[in-house]
Amino acid sequence: MAIIRTARDYISILANSLTFITQVKNRSVKIRQLHCSGTIKKMEVKAIALLNIWLNNALKKVSNNETDIQELKTLFATETENLSRMEQ
């Protein structure tokens, strides 16, 4: 996941251009736009929400043990808070 900052006038050009990127550091990638926002802070909030959804879905696929899932969720929440504090 990445956050890219650009002027409002160039959003559609950037979004369309990103679809042509197929490799990053010799790894196949598929880039898609998940959200567009007016501020970096709002974008970070949305990115964290999307990562939480992704984490929950991934945990459900790999573990049926509720204790493991809760420990990983707590760890993720702690790391997210640490990242937020570092940026302030």
Q: Look up the domain containing 52 and give its range.
A: 8-87
Task: State the pLDDT at residue 14.
Answer: 92
In order along its 88 residues, the chain shows pLDDT tens digits of: 778 888 989 999 999 999 899 998 998 988 888 888 888 888 888 888 888 888 877 777 776 666 777 777 777 777 777 666 655 5
In a domain, 45, yes or no: yes
Q: Is residue 75 part of a domain?
A: yes
Residue 26 within any structural domain of the chain: yes
In single-letter form, the type of residue at position 58 comes to A
Q: Please count the structural domains in the chain.
A: 1
- Return all residues near 34 (Cβ < 8 A) that are at least 6 apart: 1, 46, 50
Q: Report yes or no on 49 lying in a domain.
A: yes
What b/e readout covers 7-34, taking b as 16+ CB neighbours within 10 angstroms?
eeeeeeeeeeeeeeeeeeeeeeeeeeee
What pLDDT score does 20 carry?
A: 92
Residue 2 lies in a domain: no
pTM for this entry: 0.54
Domain assignment present for residue 37? The answer is yes
60 within domain boundaries: yes
